[in-house]
């Protein structure tokens, strides 16, 4: 039996006391945890020490690299074209990946979007796409490469289990130990998977506000800067946009209804905020891919992005022209007075959609594709008494009561219109 070169208790104490953990010890800690030598209680103590004490930039780099080294590293070098990915920290109504990936791919850039499922109030990209009849999320590496190399150019699929297995194990532990919000752990979790994926460039959509993972803009900015630094240090061209998630993005919150809204955007329409963010992220992705002057608006309006979307869906056995699921029951909430919508907090609407069946409480739960909320107005819009404000959709009318409880007090009508701040607040580069 081999002798371990370090002791977990020493590593925990070093971080607990506010010191920097030496690189060899930190690499060993991640490897020993992945192997099962370091126990869950020990790693939970270390995660809490990181949460309380933070980490230096070099420590975060080492932690990220150690998590990458726990599994396979992919390479897209054989594709013969630039690859660029986008990652969002998640929010309410955030369906941007759906129109964005085919839009960028229509410029001849490969877009490998390894996506996840929703848990709690933030929806998962794979859940949304699985509302399309026949579409499948699980692809082999060979299928993914063929789709990227060929005319399709974009793929949205589940990440393989071989990418950063240390992160998968640590992520589950953080979820049950109150250490999810530790910026070094969030940054290393996201970036270990993205760097291991092997993309040339990466654009981060880091959200702040009531419906975001990071509600405080200063902490969201710190997270964005940390992740941009990690990407840059690893040779991945990385930029970030800091975007507002105080109000739901678009008008649809759910799964099938978010696909419908994405298709509207690909057809040159859709809500102004979804279109704006899709275009902003596409410009960032194409600039990092050597096309800073790409006319993304034209590609969205002339049908090229829609053609790319249909090819991507068909390549994964989906029918882009099939009817999407429709809920059996609906309930519409109307305005009680004339005035203007002055507030619509994102988080309660995300929770409401989740309670309708659009999300899951446990990883093994199934989602109801047709469940969700459709907004008819947003902050700044005028309403008359009796006008529809939002509609709840579910397969079981018994779900409406708890969803209505979630959104009670989350929106207001005032006498005067309000000015909404910009959707994209900052651009962060290395």
Q: Does residue 174 have an active-site annotation?
A: yes
Task: Choose the catalytic residue: 167, 205, 244, 345.
Answer: 167
Separation CA 398–CA 401 (nearest Å): 7
Are 194 and 232 in contact by the 8 Å Cβ rule? The answer is no
Separation CA 390–CA 331 (nearest Å): 9
Other CB atoms within 10 Å distance of the CB of residue 37: 13
Evaluated on CA atoms 138, 144, 150, 153, the torsion sign reads positive
Sorted by sequence, the CB contacts under 8 Å of residue 295 that are 6+ apart come out as none
Q: Does residue 189 have an active-site annotation?
A: yes
Task: Choose the catalytic residue: 61, 86, 168, 193.
Answer: 193
Task: Choose the catalytic residue: 189, 210, 262, 308.
Answer: 189
In this structure, the chain runs to a length of 430
Q: Does residue 87 have an active-site annotation?
A: yes
Task: Choose the catalytic residue: 15, 27, 86, 87.
Answer: 87
Q: Does residue 310 have an active-site annotation?
A: no
Query: How does strand 201-208 pair with strand 237-244?
Result: parallel
Task: Choose the catalytic residue: 86, 168, 174, 355.
Answer: 174
Which DSSP state fits 118?
A: -
Separation CA 316–CA 267 (nearest Å): 21
Separation CA 202–CA 104 (nearest Å): 13
Separation CA 226–CA 186 (nearest Å): 10
Q: Which residues pair with 383 in a beta bridge?
A: 339
Sorted by sequence, the CB contacts under 8 Å of residue 44 that are 6+ apart come out as 173, 177, 179
Token pair for residue 299?
A: 């590609």
Other CB atoms within 10 Å distance of the CB of residue 175: 13
Are 40 and 173 in contact by the 8 Å Cβ rule? The answer is yes
Separation CA 263–CA 73 (nearest Å): 33
Separation CA 166–CA 384 (nearest Å): 54
* Three-class SS state of 220: helix
Separation CA 292–CA 277 (nearest Å): 17
Q: Does residue 193 have an active-site annotation?
A: yes
Q: Of the candidates 66, 47, 285, 282, which has an alpha carbon nearest to the alpha carbon of residue 186? A: 47
- Residue 116: phi and psi, rounded to 5, are -130, -175
Q: Of the candidates 350, 59, 46, which has an alpha carbon nearest to the alpha carbon of residue 213? A: 350
Instruction: Provide the annotated active-site residues.
Output: 87, 167, 174, 189, 193
């Amino acid at each position: 039996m081999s002798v371990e070169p370090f002791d977990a208790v020493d590593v925990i104490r070093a971080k607990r006391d506010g010191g920097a953990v030496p690189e060899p010890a930190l690499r060993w800690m991640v490897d020993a945890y992945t192997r099962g030598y370091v126990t869950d209680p020990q790693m939970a103590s270390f995660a809490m020490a990181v949460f309380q004490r933070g980490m230096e930039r070099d420590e975060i780099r080492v932690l990220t690299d150690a998590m990458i080294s726990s599994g396979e590293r992919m390479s897209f070098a054989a594709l013969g074209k630039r690859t660029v990915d986008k990652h969002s920290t998640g929010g309410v109504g955030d369906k941007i990946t759906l129109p964005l990936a085919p839009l960028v791919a229509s410029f001849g850039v490969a877009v490998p979007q390894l996506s996840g499922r929703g848990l709690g109030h933030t929806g998962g990209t794979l859940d949304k796409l699985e509302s399309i009849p026949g579409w499948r999320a699980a692809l082999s590496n060979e299928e993914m490469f063929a789709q990227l190399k060929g005319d399709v150019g974009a793929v949205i699929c589940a990440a393989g289990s071989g990418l950063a297995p240390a992160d998968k194990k640590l992520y589950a532990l953080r979820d049950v130990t109150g250490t999810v919000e530790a910026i070094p752990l969030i940054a290393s979790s996201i970036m270990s998977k993205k760097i291991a994926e092997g993309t040339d460039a990466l654009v981060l959509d880091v959200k702040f506000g009531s419906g975001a993972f990071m509600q405080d803009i200063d902490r969201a900015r710190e997270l964005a800067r940390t992740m941009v630094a990690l990407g840059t240090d690893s040779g991945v061209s990385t930029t970030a946009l800091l975007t507002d998630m105080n109000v739901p993005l678009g008008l649809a919150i759910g799964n099938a209804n978010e696909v419908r809204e994405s298709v509207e955007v690909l057809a040159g329409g859709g809500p102004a905020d979804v279109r704006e963010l899709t275009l902003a992220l596409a410009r960032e992705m194409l600039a990092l891919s050597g096309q800073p002057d790409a006319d993304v608006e034209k590609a969205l309006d002339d049908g090229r992005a829609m053609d790319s979307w249909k090819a991507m869906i068909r390549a994964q056995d989906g029918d882009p022209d099939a009817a999407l699921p429709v809920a059996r029951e609906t309930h519409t909430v109307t305005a009680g007075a004339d005035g203007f919508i002055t507030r619509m907090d994102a988080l309660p609407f995300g929770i409401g959609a989740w309670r309708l069946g659009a999300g899951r409480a446990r990883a093994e739960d199934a989602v109801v594709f047709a469940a969700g909320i459709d907004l008819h107005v947003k902050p700044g819009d005028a309403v008359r008494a009796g006008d529809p404000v939002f509609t709840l959709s579910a397969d079981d009318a018994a779900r409406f009561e708890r969803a209505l409880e979630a959104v009670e007090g989350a929106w207001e009508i005032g006498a005067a219109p309000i000015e909404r701040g910009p959707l994209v607040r900052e651009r962060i580069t290395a």
